Structure 1
Amino acid sequence: MEGVDILGGLDNIQQKLVNDEYAGELAFQLDIAALIFSARDGHFVFQPDLLSIFAFERTIGGLLSVSLDGESPPEIYSYDDISASRNASLDWQPSAIVSIDGEPVLDWLDFQAQNTTGLNQDPDTNWNALFNEIANSPGAVVGAMNAFPGVSNNYTFANGTSRVFPIVGIAQQDFDGVFDGPSFYQKFCNATVKMEAAATTTSSQPVRTQSPRRPESTADEALLGYPDPFITDEDGTLAGFFLDTDGFRDTAVLAVKSFEPTNDDSFIDTMKKFLEECRRRRSSHLIVDVSSNGGGNILLAVDTFKQLFPTVDPYHTFSFRATDQLEVLMNFYTSLAAELQDSSEQTFANAGGDSDYDASPLLDAAGQGYDNFENYWRPFEVHNDSFTPLARYNLSNVEESDIVDGIVVSGYGNNRDIAPQHFASENVTMVTDGQCASSCHTFSHLMKWQGKVKTVAFGGRPQTAGQPMQYVGGVKGSEIVYLGNLLPFVSMLYGNAPSEVIEAADKTGLKTLHELGNYTLYRSADPVSSTFASINYQNFIGQFDSSYTPMQFVYEAADCRLWYSVDMAFDITTIWQRAASEAFAIGPNSTDVFAGCLEGSTNAPSSLSGNATLFDNGNVANVTQFIPSTLNATTEDAADDSSSTDAPAENSALDAVRQTAYSSFRGFGVLIIVSLLVL
């Protein structure tokens, strides 16, 4: 992905406003949305209010990117055509789509993936997100779009036929009282009106930053297209299966669709009971499917890893950008929370205790406590910017864990009772479509670097045949901060801090945030949940990485890449069986580990199996060497070793421009600039 200059882009938008170059509000908001989208950071989001009023959907019913023989590059088909051919006796065969709106189909789709639908940092992952798959139905190419994409699309097939499918618009808001442009703006875009309407229901009390809960669903709805599970949590977020096919009967499957269940306890208990059944059945192999897992509760991710590898101390370190505003916030809340340590936990939490802005519970990289703000706040310069020292969560701190995410990780504190490890590392593999992000990356990172678990990635762009694919293509930041969760902390500071703290805050971006933050929030698509106004807060830093490079900028290849077949679009067990065949060399016609992977996709330097030193001879390790500078293969490296190519040229090394652009972020200062522009 090419570099992005967010602040420069905002300057350009501001200049267009000054020059009166915008025909209207829509064009202005589209420019803002496109600029922020271009960062390809799933934690950095600002969707303006106008873009939430309508949704647009393509009516073709979904597309498939499948290889008919499993080896040749995929072709594009209509999902409905392929489905019909499997369920009825037809006098015709599905024909591949060769162009859309007169443009070669691969070019048209790749443009959509990288410019209109893909929020991921990896282009192969953005490609996969377009298509209908069981874990990702119906795919972004037909899913709800916020910007008007036109009235129809013309699809031309390999057999010479063409079909036009209309694009439909759906109103997502109540239009009562809307009868012209001014009334439309007054109802949907007037932040003052919206703030007044919400004033009676909005709390000013600070709350712990975490992902808003996704809408509740039944397990049947969440697992549509899956076989009947042996066990599932309340809403199907986590499900356990046992394959019942010759050659795979000793293989268990754990489908982790998200780390954001409606009931954390149900999720953890389901994991425990599933592993108990694996022991009872003496299952010898485990597939962990994290396809289309967008993340969620980070401690659930750690807990899931811990239950699989109970003897390993999960190593998850992070840093923050050491901004002036964060220094003021953390200094205030760490000190204030410390004063209330002997009070009730509710009062302690209300004062910011164990929040994102309380440094006292954090551990350093070696596991020693910082205890207070002065010990923690020792910024250092790297990547042309200032960052805090590395920190870890104290998993043994029961009070912190309970306040932070409502759970205590298995093996720690008052939850020390944990079953012994059942599956050996070499008998576990992760399956992914690249659409693994946030806390899913945390889990996958622990599985790879400490659990020594191999990965099998499916799909990706046909144009990159002969190259590996990343196993995590989504955002790799450790934590997201929503504007709606941050603002109460800022308000509490301004309402309770002594004058010298207020004076210090006024010299930073906190003053602007205090004055304009609510306006910004209520110009976003959903101010109540704050889902559409957020930034990445924590940088995930790998153990022993002396370069302190955020994992977001580190290319990591899967151990094996495979194309999707037609059967895989309709029977997810065929995905699991193929992954087991390659990772474990089991099942009919299997010969050797990874023998059937796509040529050029194995033994990449950044894959686990491609680097013997990092692999530590396959031993589970509490200490894992991790040096990104040795993992980012360059184009020159690939030319020197044609048998072990790694990242494509566009991802081969840290892009200096991109790094500079990211390091120039001033958190919600970017969103505040947006506020100033729309005033």
Structure 2
Amino acid sequence: MVRLTSLFARALLPATFVVAAPAASTPPPLRRQIAGDEACAEIGRVYNKASLTNTTDNVVVKPSLAYQCLRSISVDVERDTALVHYLRPWLEYQSTVDILLDPPEEYLYPGVDIFGGLDNITQSLENGGYESQIDFTVDLYRLINVKPRDGHLSWSPVLGVLISFSTPALFISISEDGIKSPKIYLYSDYQKSTQEGYNASEVKSFDTAPIIDYIQQRSVDNSRDQDPDAAYNEQLYSAALENVLETTTAGRHLHTTLSDESVIQFVNGTEATVVNRARIVANFSGITSGQAVHERFEVPLDDGEAEVTLNTTRIPFSPALEGYPEPSVIHEDRYISGYLFNESTLGDTAVLAVNVFMSQNGTARTVLEALEDPIEFARVASEFIDRSKSQNKSKLIIDLQGNGGGLVANAMSLYATLFPEAGAEAHMNMRVRAHAALNWVGRTAERLGANLKTLPYPIGFNGFVDEDLKNFTSWEDFYGPETIEGSNYTNVVQPLEVSYARTGLPGNFEIPEPWFKPEDTVILTDGHCASACAYIVGMMTRELGIQVVAMGGRPIDAPMQAVGGTKGGPVISLGPY
């Protein structure tokens, strides 16, 4: 989740790649280096040619050529070791590092020793354990971004964003009647079959791997969701994820190898071949070798910055709301919408779809501009309540499919708007991992006379209050610590926006009279629910007894979690204060 002054609700998954260990027939290092340098030079020539026609936004090469170039970048032991050393103290701020060592029995992924992993990576660097820079990059990326299964924990390596690997093969999971185990189809084939009236064939395999195994392995290798079913859903086409612009990740190959072509085999005996691609996202003009890639993009200049200008196009955030009917009320950025039905079977039912808890079009520069989105969000929710009342819609479905989190203010106003009586007792209790570095920074700032109420959380407590919604009076008042399950954490802290659910925001958000009842409400998720979404679903289920229906997941006869994403609090971005 994010505060009004932050940018993103869920740390966006950065792109990076892993490649398989070389086969026994791998050429000797010198020959491989020459071939790799030529691959980088070829990419440079293709990019130069595109520059002449101003088409550098769509420079595409074969994945094999791109991998060959990346693998030719020599390991920079000195700088890589320094990078690991630099990142280590910042990872002390990750609140789950202790519990991940030995997670609860119900946790469905292996535990991970983050600091032990850093030691292993350092040892591999010192002992010549990496053949190329990309091998080191992938190891470090997976340790930080994937294995902890926390969508809020993210490190974006430079080599991971230079080239985007993807396949056009997008799959969809369909159950014939909503009860039978779902089957996997090629999305384009299934879509065409519904238009032309033929029966699409179930997919058997992708590049010889059984399709279920392929999708599950992708979810293990790529997803940062904490639940395997949510991670599985993330690898497939979903209208809900399409509406928050996340479906493209289902075709991305972040750190696993991708062949130039892939063969899809169908159950009916037919097969299809798709051409995969590697899109050059960074400026490769003049690049002639792997060393040139390293020096341009990874080695800092005198000002401490490296050249990482990416050819990206920002798509306006205005979801098409595919799969949804015409809304009765909708946010100007189309991410929260309400639906009222006239059909007899749904005559008393209203649906509120909340795809995310913030607009991604935010460019707020002032406090007033920052309030525009929460005010519009509250307007839609309140108008939805009013229209539901006027049409006597007493049953409520809250559709949170694809919701990865967002603004605390929006999450709190939704809770208070739908269930005002519960909003009066709203809370968002959180703790921060208490450790020596955090304590030293806080105590030092206080000793030097800094106003901790104005310093950013968690170095200070600007915008945060205690368990009783009162201001912290000192560093000790905030820090504690308190020992829980053998680990130290700060005292309870809450975002100031929690008060919106109790008192409203005079002149901007007024809490309405109650209408819907918890016992007449159902929440719908696809397991993707994370961050602010996780908090809201948690309060509605634990404290109001609202039931949840979770859709999709692995094709097994077993329950899945409704909240499969991170349950963490605000995203803290590292940067100069």
Q: Normalising by the residue count of structure 1, what TM-score does the alignment of the two structures yield?
A: 0.61
Letter in 1 for 2:408: I
| Residues 1:304 and 2:414 are matched in the alignment | yes
Deviation, 1:54, is: 0.9
Distance 1:384 1:144 in 2: 39
| Residues 1:356 and 2:448 are matched in the alignment | no
Q: Is the 8 A contact 1:279 1:422 kept in 2?
A: yes
Q: Is the 8 A contact 2:426 2:501 kept in 1?
A: no
Q: Is the 8 A contact 1:257 1:291 kept in 2?
A: yes
Q: Is the 8 A contact 1:298 1:439 kept in 2?
A: yes
Deviation, 1:277, is: 1.4
Q: Which runs of 5+ in 1 are unaligned?
A: 199-213, 341-347, 398-407, 489-679
| Residues 1:317 and 2:429 are matched in the alignment | yes
> After the TM superposition, which residues 392-407 of structure 1 pair with which residues of structure 2 at under 5 Å, given as runs?
392-395=494-497
Q: Is the 8 A contact 1:233 1:239 kept in 2?
A: yes
| Residues 1:456 and 2:561 are matched in the alignment | no
Q: Is the 8 A contact 2:354 2:400 kept in 1?
A: yes
SS of 1:287's equivalent?
A: strand
SS of 1:64's equivalent?
A: strand
2:207 to 101, 110, 117: 101
Deviation, 1:364, is: 4.1
SS of 1:311's equivalent?
A: helix
| Residues 1:376 and 2:483 are matched in the alignment | no
**Change over 3 Å in CA distance of 1:69–1:309 after alignment to 2:** closer
2:559: which partner in 1?
468
| Residues 1:173 and 2:173 are matched in the alignment | no
Distance 1:328 1:260 in 2: 34
Letter in 2 for 1:250: D
Deviation, 1:152, is: 2.6
> After the TM superposition, which residues 177-576 of structure 1 pair with which residues of structure 2 at under 5 Å, given as runs?
177-192=286-301, 195-196=304-305, 217-219=316-318, 221-261=319-359, 262=362, 263-312=373-422, 313-332=425-444, 349=454, 352=455, 355-359=457-461, 362-366=464-468, 369-395=471-497, 408-409=500-501, 411-412=503-504, 414=506, 417-462=510-555, 464-465=556-557, 467-484=558-575, 487-488=576-577
Distance 2:391 2:286 in 1: 63
Letter in 1 for 2:419: F
SS of 2:239's equivalent?
A: coil
Deviation, 1:316, is: 1.5
1:124 to 210, 222, 229: 229
2:220: which partner in 1?
114
Larger deviation: 42-51 or 330-339?
Answer: 330-339
**Change over 3 Å in CA distance of 1:144–1:420 after alignment to 2:** farther
Q: Percent identity?
A: 28
**Change over 3 Å in CA distance of 1:227–1:217 after alignment to 2:** farther
**Change over 3 Å in CA distance of 1:259–1:333 after alignment to 2:** farther
Distance 1:303 1:368 in 2: 20
Distance 1:134 1:337 in 2: 52
Deviation, 1:80, is: 1.4
Q: Is the 8 A contact 2:427 2:498 kept in 1?
A: no
> After the TM superposition, which residues 527-676 of structure 1 pair with which residues of structure 2 at under 5 Å, given as runs?
none
Deviation, 1:359, is: 4.2
Letter in 1 for 2:381: M
Q: Is the 8 A contact 2:235 2:250 kept in 1?
A: yes
Letter in 2 for 1:19: N
SS of 2:345's equivalent?
A: coil
Q: Is the 8 A contact 2:297 2:306 kept in 1?
A: no
Distance 1:443 1:73 in 2: 30
**Change over 3 Å in CA distance of 1:149–1:179 after alignment to 2:** same
Distance 1:272 1:334 in 2: 43
Q: Is the 8 A contact 1:187 1:193 kept in 2?
A: no
Deviation, 1:222, is: 4.6
Q: Which runs of 5+ in 2 are unaligned?
A: 1-108, 308-312, 363-372
Distance 1:193 1:176 in 2: 21
Residues 558-592 of structure 1, C-alpha deviations (whole Å, 9 max, x = no match): xxxxxxxxxxxxxxxxxxxxxxxxxxxxxxxxxxx
Deviation, 1:366, is: 4.8
Q: Is the 8 A contact 1:55 1:147 kept in 2?
A: no
1:133: which partner in 2?
238
SS of 1:319's equivalent?
A: coil
Distance 2:498 2:510 in 1: 13
**Change over 3 Å in CA distance of 1:194–1:57 after alignment to 2:** farther
Letter in 2 for 1:295: G
Deviation, 1:181, is: 2.2
Q: Normalising by the residue count of structure 2, what TM-score does the alignment of the two structures yield?
A: 0.71
Residues 474-495 of structure 1, C-alpha deviations (whole Å, 9 max, x = no match): 00111221113xx32xxxxxxx
Deviation, 1:165, is: 1.6
Q: Is the 8 A contact 2:328 2:340 kept in 1?
A: yes
2:103: which partner in 1?
none
Distance 2:530 2:285 in 1: 38
**Change over 3 Å in CA distance of 1:414–1:334 after alignment to 2:** farther
**Change over 3 Å in CA distance of 1:476–1:334 after alignment to 2:** farther
Distance 1:197 1:28 in 2: 19
SS of 2:571's equivalent?
A: strand
Distance 1:278 1:429 in 2: 16
Residues 206-248 of structure 1, C-alpha deviations (whole Å, 9 max, x = no match): xxxxxxxx967353x3524432222221211211122343311
SS of 2:352's equivalent?
A: strand
SS of 1:270's equivalent?
A: helix
SS of 2:165's equivalent?
A: strand
Distance 2:306 2:274 in 1: 40
1:204: which partner in 2?
none
Distance 1:247 1:4 in 2: 49
Q: Is the 8 A contact 2:479 2:490 kept in 1?
A: yes
Larger deviation: 320-329 or 468-477?
Answer: 320-329
**Change over 3 Å in CA distance of 1:194–1:336 after alignment to 2:** closer
Letter in 1 for 2:429: T
Letter in 1 for 2:358: E
**Change over 3 Å in CA distance of 1:258–1:469 after alignment to 2:** same
Deviation, 1:357, is: 2.9
